[in-house]
Amino acid sequence: MDEKWLDQWILPLTDQDGWSARDSFEGTLITGSPGSGKTSNSGKNLAYALLKANPRYGALVLPAKAGETERWKGYLRDTGRGDDLILFNAESGHCFDPLFYEWNRPGRGAGDLERSSIFSRRSFR
């Protein structure tokens, strides 16, 4: 499988550097003081880049701040992805069990929960 697309920038940062799909999969950390714009600037730009990059990209967003769910609904609307939203809350009727999904999903590594965890049995011997 050709994985060159993983290194294509979905958010250019400078003329010589950018944030790629691979970067988005491997983790991104935004630090700063309260009120420094982590959510309204850096976070927003990363969110828009992901939502615009590929309609098959998905994300699990776990809001901690009041109003964050509405902010993400706006991001989805603004990028034409409003119909992709699946909201998990008491009113939506949706639920998701990640362990059940992982155990029952098709494909490579399906049901292999022990190998996908950080620790193996050997770690505790």
Q: Is residue 109 part of a domain?
A: no
28-32 long-range contacts, Cβ below 8 Å, gap at least 24?
none
Does residue 32 register a pLDDT over 80? yes
- What is the band of 35 on the pLDDT scale with cuts at 50, 70, 90? very high
Q: Is residue 58 part of a domain?
A: yes
d(CA 60, CA 89): 13
Lowest mean pLDDT across 13-17, 21-25, 54-58: 54-58
Please tell me the predicted confidence (pLDDT) of residue 114.
64
Please tell me the predicted confidence (pLDDT) of residue 62.
86
- What is the band of 58 on the pLDDT scale with cuts at 50, 70, 90? confident
Q: Is residue 67 part of a domain?
A: yes
**51, 57 contact by CB (below 8 A):** yes
More confident residue, 111 or 55: 55
**6, 20 contact by CB (below 8 A):** yes
Please tell me the predicted confidence (pLDDT) of residue 103.
83
Containing domain of residue 79, as a range?
4-88
Q: Is residue 40 part of a domain?
A: yes
Please tell me the predicted confidence (pLDDT) of residue 38.
92
Please tell me the predicted confidence (pLDDT) of residue 115.
56
47 by DSSP, 3-state: which?
A: helix
Domain count, the chain: 1
More confident residue, 94 or 122: 94
Q: Is residue 123 part of a domain?
A: no
Please tell me the predicted confidence (pLDDT) of residue 121.
46
Q: Is residue 121 part of a domain?
A: no
- What is the band of 56 on the pLDDT scale with cuts at 50, 70, 90? confident
